């Protein structure tokens, strides 16, 4: 069994669990990072939010240790610890004074090996998560993203309310948490990273003691179907009366993790909307003053995610800003980027990459993305070299073969009565959908 896909120190425990090591003795601290390779996309239909409740259950403490007692132990060690659920993994992230690292590793090992899943903790976490879902009605940016993914990926797992709804969170029972944990504990489901001021053996014996009891068999492979979006421009208005500022999101297809065109597209995206001197910022902010900022990002996932353009114009400028952003995106897809913009984007990405290598903890996160998410190892080991090799022709070929302006969804969060007619006149609009802001967060899928 191979050790690590990336360059750097690594070893495996007796059960095959991979441990990545990054050293840095400048501060007497140790970072511990563990990825559990099950996330929100693995939640059964109708039980969306299970991963979030599972993460909360782990954080509530192991058997024999209450949540309050756990907090006291962490304080005594001078440690911090967080556990969060993402689409594909549950992330355990902590840091501790180096002299207390063995005790901290044992404590985290107990939390992940023997979680208590107490009924009182579950109900408290459920109430907290339901309240957080309901509070989305007050978060315009979150509403815009929820509406985009719900409409663009309608009928696909990406389009679900992956964080859960009040209805799905209410269905999760303790036995569901225990079933999830049996899969986690019974397979080689975790990847461990440790960084900082480490002894020669990188606490190998303690890690074996804490995590050597996890199963040896690999997790079953997850299959996720590709999505076929509908053609044309669909305009979605999330009706929120009396708004003086709107959130605007325009999106279309993105790429899958591991796509060979990833680096050229990242450089091209930086030129288009990834930096403060990008095309979007120049056109939306500097020339017209429609919004203080504008940006774009090319999403990646196990199957194609989405490319998103985001800005926040005033209500008065929402319609002309939407028209401008549409035109800029279509021009980006059709014409690509210039050699001059390519050079500037490459320089910015290479300079910025230095900050990704600044600390052992950041280097560890990059390596974990390779091991747990399937990011190509070259993106960690040779990123600067890959960026330097890109030119405008490579970028424009990648844009032409991967991106499109034929299946767009435009979301605007604002007052529908003042926006609907104006947005309906945008070129190539196929339909206009209007949703109430206070109903959207509880919609499991959007009926379109």
Q: Do 373 and 89 meet the contact criterion of CB atoms below 8 Å apart?
A: yes
Q: How far apart are CA 388 and CA 379, in angstroms?
A: 13
CA dihedral (135, 140, 143, 145) positive or negative = negative
Cα 70 to Cα 62: distance, rounded to the nearest angstrom: 8
Q: What angle do CA 426, 147, 269 make, to 5 degrees?
A: 70
In contact, 300 and 259? CB cutoff 8 Å: yes
Tokens of 209: 């003691």
Query: What fold does the segment set 9-211 form as a domain?
Result: Cytochrome Bc1 Complex; Chain A, domain 1 (3.30.830)
How many whole angstroms separate alpha carbon 142 and alpha carbon 139? 5
Tens of pLDDT along the chain (448 residues)?
Answer: 568 999 999 999 999 999 999 999 999 999 999 999 999 999 999 999 999 999 999 999 999 999 999 999 999 999 999 999 999 999 999 999 999 999 999 999 999 999 999 999 999 999 999 999 999 889 999 999 999 999 999 999 999 999 999 999 999 999 999 999 999 999 999 999 999 999 999 999 999 999 999 999 999 888 899 998 889 999 999 999 999 999 999 999 999 999 999 999 999 999 999 988 899 999 999 999 999 999 999 999 999 999 999 999 999 999 999 999 999 999 999 999 999 999 999 999 999 998 888 889 999 999 999 999 999 999 999 999 999 999 999 999 999 999 999 999 999 999 999 999 999 999 999 999 999 998 775 543 443 3
Do 188 and 215 touch, CB atoms closer than 8 A? yes
Q: How many residues does the chain have?
A: 448
C-alpha to C-alpha distance for 178 and 54, rounded to whole angstroms: 9
Q: What is the pLDDT of residue 221?
A: 85
Rounded-to-integer distance, Cα 445 and Cα 423, Å: 23
pLDDT confidence of residue 279: 97
Helix axes 50-59, 119-134, angle to 10 degrees: 130
Every domain range in the chain assigned CATH 3.30.830.10: 9-211, 232-442
CB 262 within 8 A of CB 379: yes
Residues 41/86, Cβ–Cβ less than 8 Å? no
CA distance 150 to 163: 13
232-239/429-436 β-pairing: parallel
Which pair of tokens denotes residue 169?
């969170």
CA distance 366 to 419: 43
**Spatial CB neighbours of 201, under 8 Å, sequence gap ≥ 6:** none
Phi, psi for 384 (deg, rounded to 5): -60, -45
CB of 223 closer than 8 Å to CB of 194: no
Domain 232-442: which topology?
Cytochrome Bc1 Complex; Chain A, domain 1 (3.30.830)
Distance CA(344)–CA(358), nearest Å, equals 22
CA atoms within 13 A on the CB side of 419: 36
């Amino acid at each position: 069994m191979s050790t690590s896909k990336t360059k750097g120190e690594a070893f495996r425990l007796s059960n095959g669990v991979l441990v990545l090591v990054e050293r840095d003795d400048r501060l007497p601290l140790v970072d511990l990072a563990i990825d559990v390779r099950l996330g929100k996309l693995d939640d059964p239909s109708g039980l969306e939010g299970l991963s979030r409740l599972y993460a909360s259950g782990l954080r509530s403490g192991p058997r024999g240790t209450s949540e309050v007692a756990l907090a006291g132990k962490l304080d005594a060690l001078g440690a911090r610890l967080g556990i969060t659920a993402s689409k594909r993994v549950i992330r355990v992230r902590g840091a501790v004074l180096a002299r207390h690292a063995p005790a901290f590793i044992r404590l985290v090992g107990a939390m992940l090996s023997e979680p208590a899943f107490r009924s009182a903790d579950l109900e408290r976490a459920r109430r907290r998560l339901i309240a957080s879902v309901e509070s989305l009605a007050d978060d315009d940016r979150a509403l815009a993203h929820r509406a985009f993914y719900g409409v663009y990926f309608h009928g696909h797992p990406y389009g679900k309310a992956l964080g859960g709804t009040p209805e799905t969170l209410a269905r999760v029972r303790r036995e569901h948490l225990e079933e999830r944990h049996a899969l986690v504990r019974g397979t080689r489901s975790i990847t461990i990273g440790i960084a900082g001021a480490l002894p020669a053996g990188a606490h190998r014996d303690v890690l074996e003691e804490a995590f050597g009891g996890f199963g040896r068999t690999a997790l079953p492979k997850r299959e996720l179907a590709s999505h076929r979006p509908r053609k044309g421009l669909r305009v979605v208005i999330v009706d929120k009366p009396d708004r003086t500022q709107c959130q605007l999101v325009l999106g279309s297809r993105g790429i899958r993790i591991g796509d060979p065109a990833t680096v050229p597209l990242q450089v091209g995206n930086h030129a288009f909307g990834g930096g403060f001197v990008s095309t979007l910022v120049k056109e939306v902010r500097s020339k017209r003053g429609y919004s203080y900022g504008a940006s774009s990002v090319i999403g990646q996932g196990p199957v194609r995610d989405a490319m998103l353009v985001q800005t926040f114009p005033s209500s008065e400028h929402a319609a002309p800003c939407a028209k401008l952003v549409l035109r800029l995106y279509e021009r980006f897809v059709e014409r690509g980027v210039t050699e001059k913009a390519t050079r500037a984007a490459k320089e910015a990405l290479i300079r910025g990459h230095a900050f990704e290598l600044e600390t052992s903890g950041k280097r560890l996160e990059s390596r974990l993305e390779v091991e747990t998410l399937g990011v190509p190892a070259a993106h960690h080991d040779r990123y600067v070299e890959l960026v330097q090799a890109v030119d405008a022709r490579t970028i424009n070929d990648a844009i032409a073969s991967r991106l499109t302006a034929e299946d767009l969804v435009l979301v605007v969060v604002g007052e529908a009565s003042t926006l609907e007619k104006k947005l309906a006149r945008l070129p190539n609009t196929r339909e206009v959908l209007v949703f109430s802001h206070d109903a959207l967060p509880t919609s499991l899928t959007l009926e379109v």
